[in-house]
Amino acid sequence: MTYLLALDQGTSSSRSIVFREDGQIVAMAQREFRQIYPQPGWVEHDPRDLWNTQLETAREVLQKAGLQASAIAAVGITNQRETTLVWNRKTGQPIYNAIVWQDRRAENTCAEMRAQGLEDTVQEKTGLRIDAYFSGTKLQWLLDQVPGARALAEAGELAFGTVDSWLIWQLTGGREHVTDVSNAARTMLFNIHTQQWDEELLKAMHIPPSLMPRVLPSSANFGQIDAALLGAPLVIGGVAGDQQSALFGQACFQAGMAKNTYGTGCFMLMHTGESFQRSANGLITTAAAIPPGPPQYAMEGSVFIGGAVVQWLRDGLQAIRSSSEMQALAESVPDAGGVVFVPAFTGLGAPYWKPDVRGSITGLTRGTTMAHIARAALESIAFQSAALLDAMSKDAVAHGSVPVSELRVDGGACVNDLLMQIQADLLGIPVVRPAVIETTALGAAYLAGLHAGVYGGLAELSHQWRAERTFLPTLSRRDAAQRMAAWEHAVRQTVAA
C-alpha cells in the first residue's frame, strides 16, 4: 500500500492527514493555535504558531498511523488563502505577524485604488475584485508600516509568501521560495492569463518584484523536506489553496462541475476549464489547481457566515448546547413558520457584496419558537448558497456554457442531512456528499500523488471518487422560486435598514 501525507494549514487549526492511495484516511492529527485581534477589524497569526503546530501534527499523525516517514510517497500542502507573511531571507525570521485573510486594515488602500480607476484592470488581469480580503494590499501595508521593511525589501533581503510559501521555506530549510498558481491567484498581483506576477499591479501597490516567490503548477516539485524534521527527505509534490484543493479533491476536473464547502463560511467553485470567464453577477474568477499544462479556471463565490450561524445559536443565544442538536431542533417543526434569517454578522459576501450590512430576523410572530429560528438559521446557509449557484448559472449561460447539473458538497456542515435536503430542494439539482468529506486535504494528497506517479492521471482520480449519499430535490420549481423570492425580499429589507 502507498501512503500520502497532507498538511492542511487552516485559519483556526493545523491538521495533518495520512491517506492511502485509494483516498481512505489512515490517521489524522489536529492542533488549534492562537487568534490575535490587535484592534477591531484586524486579525493576525503568529507565523511561528503556524509552523510549529503544522510540524507537530505531521509528526503526530505518522506516529498514529504507525508509519515511518520513508513509507510516504509524497507530501501535499493546502492552506488558508490570502493570509500574508513577510520574512528576512538571511535569518528566516518574520518581520511581523501574519495578516489573516479576514483582516480589513487595508480597506483605505483599496478605496484609493478604486478611486484611481484600477477596478477594471485588476479584474481583467487577476479575476478578482479590489478588496482588502486579498494579499496585495496587506503586503503593501507591511512594507509601509513596519519600520525599515521597505528599505530591506528594495535591497532584496525580504521574502513574501502566503502560508504555503512560509511552510515550504521552513520545511526545506530556506532553500525554496515557491508557491503554486492557485495561491498566487489570490494575491491581486498575479496575472492569471500569463501565469506571471504582473509588473503593472506590483508597481501600483509599490511592491518590489524581488519579494515574490517562484510560481509552479499545483502538482510539481516544490522541494525536499529536511530529513531531520520527519525522519526522511520527503518530496513536496502538491500545493493548493484550500478551496481549489477541495475542488480538486472532489474530482471536479471539467467545465460545469461544481462543489460547495460548508464550513464557518461557504465557498462554492465551478470549474470553467481553459475558459477565463468574467462574472457579471458578483462572482470572482480564480485559477484552479492544475498539474503541468495550460491554465485552468474556476468561478468562485464566498458566503461569509455559513456554519458560523450554528455557532452563534450555541454560543451567543445559548439556544443549543452543541452543534449536533441543530438538526433535531430544526426538524421539530415542519417549516420556519415564515421566519427568514439573514445572518449578515460581518456583511454579505457574493453575490451581494454588502460588507457594511448587519444581520436580521424577519417574519416573527407570537407563534415563533426557537425551533422556527433554528430552522430559519439552517435555511439561511442553503439560501445563500442557492444565490451563489444562481449567479454561476447565469454567468455560465452568458458564456455559452452548460449550467451546473449537480453540486458536490464537503465541509463539516455537510453531514447535516436536513441542510443538504433543503439545499437540493432550493437548487433543483442533486446534491452529492462524497464518501470522504475531508476533500481539502485529499486534493493536496492527490496533487502530490500525481507528481510522484502514484496516479496515472485525472481519469484515474475521477474513477476513484465515491458518493456516500445523493439528495434529490422534492420541492416543485414554483415553490422553490417562491422561497427564494422571500429570501431575496428579506435581503433587500436588511440592506435598506
Burial class (CB in 10 A: 0-12, 13-18, 19+), 54: buried
d(CA 259, CA 271): 9
Q: Does a cis peptide bond (omega within 30 degrees of 0) precede residue 40?
A: no
d(CA 415, CA 476): 24
Beta carbons of 333 and 301 less than 8 angstroms apart: no
Beta carbons of 264 and 346 less than 8 angstroms apart: no
pLDDT in tens, 245-273: 999 999 999 888 999 998 878 899 999 88
pLDDT score for 448 = 97
Beta carbons of 294 and 444 less than 8 angstroms apart: no
pLDDT score for 180 = 97
pLDDT in tens, 330-379: 989 999 999 999 998 878 887 887 877 888 999 999 999 999 999 999 99
d(CA 323, CA 209): 46
Q: What is the dihedral of CA 488, 493, 494, 497, to 10 degrees?
A: 160
Domains detected in the chain: 3-234 (3.30.420.40), 251-497 (3.30.420.40)
pLDDT score for 313 = 86
Grid cell in block for residue 81: 488563502
Residue 300 main-chain phi, psi, to 5 deg: -135, 140
Helix (H) / strand (E) containing 25:
strand 25-32
pLDDT score for 278 = 85
d(CA 177, CA 223): 9
Grid cell in block for residue 435: 464518501
Q: Which residues of 90-118 are buried (b: 16+ CB within 10 A; e: fewer)?
A: eeeebbbbbbbbbbbbbeebbeebeeeeb
Alpha-carbon 457 to chain mean position: 24
Per-residue pLDDT of the chain (497 residues; tens, 9 = 90+): 899 999 999 888 899 999 999 999 999 999 988 888 898 788 899 999 999 999 999 999 999 999 999 999 999 999 999 999 999 999 999 999 999 988 888 989 999 999 999 999 999 999 998 988 899 999 999 999 999 999 999 999 999 999 999 999 999 999 999 999 999 999 999 999 999 999 999 999 999 999 999 999 999 999 999 999 999 999 999 999 999 999 999 999 988 899 999 887 889 999 988 888 888 888 999 999 988 889 999 999 988 888 888 888 888 888 888 877 888 889 899 999 999 999 988 788 878 878 778 889 999 999 999 999 999 999 999 999 999 999 988 888 888 877 888 999 998 888 889 999 999 999 999 999 999 889 999 999 999 999 999 999 999 999 999 999 999 999 999 999 999 999 999 999 998 87
pLDDT score for 194 = 92
d(CA 102, CA 135): 11
